[in-house]
Amino acid sequence: MINKKRLLIFILLFITPIYLFSVDNYAEIDKNFKDKLSVMQNSSEVYVEYALFLLEHNFLHEAIEQLRKGLSFPDAEERDVMYWLSKSYAMIGANDLALFYAKEHYERNQTNEEALFEYIWLLHRNLKTEEAIDLAHLAYEKNTYSFILASFLAILYGEINKYELAIHYYQDAEELAYVLGIDDLSLISNYYNQYLLEINFLQFKKAQEILEKALAIDPMNPLLLRSFGNFYHQQMNFSLALAYYQESERQEIIYTKEKKTLRTPLSKLELLTLYLDFNLINEAESIRKEIKREKENRTWMRGYGINHYFFDALWYEEELHYWLITKEENKHKIARNFWQQLIQYKNKFTLSIDIRRARTKRERSHLLALEYAKKNQHLENSAYYYLMLNDRRLFVGQLPITSHSPKSLLYKEIDYATKYRDKTKLFMLLDNLQLPYQNKEKVLIIKNILINTKLKKGEHKILIEELYRLTPHLSQPFGMFFEIDMENISSKNQKKIKRALKRIGVKEESSPFLLRIEEAEEELRILLFEDSVLRKEWQVKHYGYRHWRILAENIRKELFASV
């Protein structure tokens, strides 16, 4: 049977890590432990207790030092020193050492379920998943009523893309939970992992159903809320993705109220990506500054067993994304005098430095993550290290290159067709997408077609209209097609207006879009129609068209604002 006291400590350390002692009492309690150590020289008991105290306060290396000292005493096995050494090494990401002590502990305690579970999981963390599956199968044959073993088998089969077997064991685990009367909260991690599996195999309706079941159990869970945000982000549904990401961030603040250093910036990172995907540069800038302040906090990463290299690789990816979007945005800023022109030249220069620095940091962070992964997990796959993040995001960078899941294969095909400018293949991939679930992939494919292939006039027009409907701002660099109606504009101003519109990529073509400009005494009334339906209406000041770039900027902001 599982030791209840140790299980409680495990939950406190790894599931809901909080301080059990206030900061004010830390120094006093630390001194008391050291006093005890100076007196008790023939037992590992105090060393283990002191190490657990240090673990609770996230002093991981200090805890390991105490446990290694305790290992030399005769009662070390009785006090489970190797078990806690395994846990501690796993928390700092040293999975090879964690596996060594887990194996030693299991071989001495083969009837101990906790020792078995820890050994199986660390085999997987060290990329010995087949060996972990064999061991889990042997144990499950002896105990077919083990909810944890069924869950392990489901997760492990999912990791090697054995979809049917993974689903089989997820269903077994759910049935066992019902038969054994296991609390619904224990099912949440299974539902979350099954959700990731369904997404990986493009089973979007099933994924949504699974996530809804999990959220029904714990509606305020930050990870589940963030996952729903990801789900709608993939559909390019800005309003729903934003709502779930913001709620996830609010709940995380509540969840870590007692221990702010354990608050993760993962929801904010998703918000940053969302804002950048929809070109909301001001909102992105605010979130980016918050993440920069918080990202140096490594405590939450240690608490969840995540090495900072892996998070840095994701962060610098978005940092570069931010600077590139800023560069695109600055192209349309208007200098109204000589001094503003000087400022623009200065900003352009500093921005080029920022982009170059961001690229360097991104490349360096990826290399450091890879080197760390190779050193500690003996990884052979140069993309696999992304999987070490507990909160896996829904994009191909986190899937192993050797994976043969439908999601990873789709991205391989997109990359291959783009590399060889295979327009026919890209159009075929576009036709086979499951919409709206793969709207993000649709945007990616359309952009790749527009950038890398030669198109007929009609093809170009259709693609831009599709891109505009999904994300208006993304269509800007490729030129928007409009039928421009200027019947109410004096002929002497029409040429200047056309120059203004041309600057932002608006072209005179027949299409469902109609941009109507009406001239008034002090302002212009601009109306945007789509299929004869008025979509937007706004007014801009009348500058007599001496400053036609101001008109272009006003129109651009409205046309390419997120909707």
Instruction: Give 166-204 pLDDT, tens digit per residue.
Output: 999 999 999 999 999 998 888 988 999 899 899 989 999
| Lateral strand order in the sheet of 523-530 | 506-508, 480-485, 513-519, 523-530, 533-541
- DSSP string of 399-444? S-TT---HHHHHHHHHHHHHHTT-HHHHHHHHHT--TTTTHHHHHH
Neighbours of 61 (CB within 10 A): 10
Residue 74 has which token pair?
A: 């005769």
**What is the DSSP-derived secondary structure letter of residue 189?**
H
CB 6 within 8 A of CB 79: no
CA separation for the pair 164, 194 (Å, rounded): 12
* 210, 194 Cβ separation under 8 angstroms: yes
The continuous run of DSSP H or E covering 485 comes out as: strand 480-485
Q: What does the block give as tokens for 206?
A: 């099933």
Residue 415 and residue 410: Cα distance in Å, rounded? 9
How confident is the model over 5-61, as pLDDT tens digits? 444 333 333 333 333 333 445 455 555 655 555 545 566 777 788 888 887 777 788
pLDDT tens track for 298-344: 777 765 656 677 778 888 888 999 998 888 777 767 676 788 888 88
DSSP summary character for residue 445: H
Q: Which residues contact 459 (CB under 8 A, 6 or more apart)?
A: none
Q: What percent of the chain has pLDDT over 70?
A: 82
Least confident of 155-164, 383-392, 429-438: 383-392
Identify the residue whose tokens are 């657990």.
52
Distance between CA 336 and CA 118 in Å, rounded? 66
The vertex-474 CA angle with 273 and 332, nearest 5°, equals 100
Burial class of 39 by CB neighbour count within 10 A (0 to 12, 13 to 18, 19+): exposed
Query: If pLDDT is split at 50, 70 and 90, which confidence band does 438 have?
Result: very high
Residue with tokens 């409680």: 8
Tokens standing for 150? 């069924």
Q: Tell me the C-alpha distance between 322 and 281, whole Å.
A: 8
Tokens of residue 351, six digits: 């921005």
Interhelix angle 81-91/113-125, nearest 10 degrees = 30
The rounded distance, in Å, linking the Cα atoms of 247 and 251 is: 6
Q: Which tokens hold the place of 164?
A: 């049917």
Peptide bond into 406 cis (omega under 30): no
Task: Tell me the sheet residues that pair with 484.
Answer: 515
Q: Which residues pair with 538 in a beta bridge?
A: 526
* Residue 143 structure tokens: 């105990």
Q: What is the pLDDT of residue 46?
A: 78
Q: What is the 3-state secondary structure (H, E, C) of 273-313?
A: HHHHHCCCHHHHHHHHHHHHHHCCCCHHHHHCCCCHHHHHH
pLDDT, greater one: 79 or 392: 79
As a whole number of Å, the end-to-end CA separation of the chain is 57
- 3-state SS class at 44: coil
Secondary structure of 75-122 in the HEC alphabet?
CCCCCCHHHHHHHHHHHCCCHHHHHHHHHHHHHHCCCCHHHHHHHHHH
Q: Between these two residues, 8 and 456, which has the higher pLDDT value? A: 456
pLDDT tens digit string along 117-171?
Answer: 889 988 887 778 899 999 999 999 999 999 999 999 998 998 888 999 999 999 9
Return d(Cα 204, Cα 394) in angstroms, integer: 12
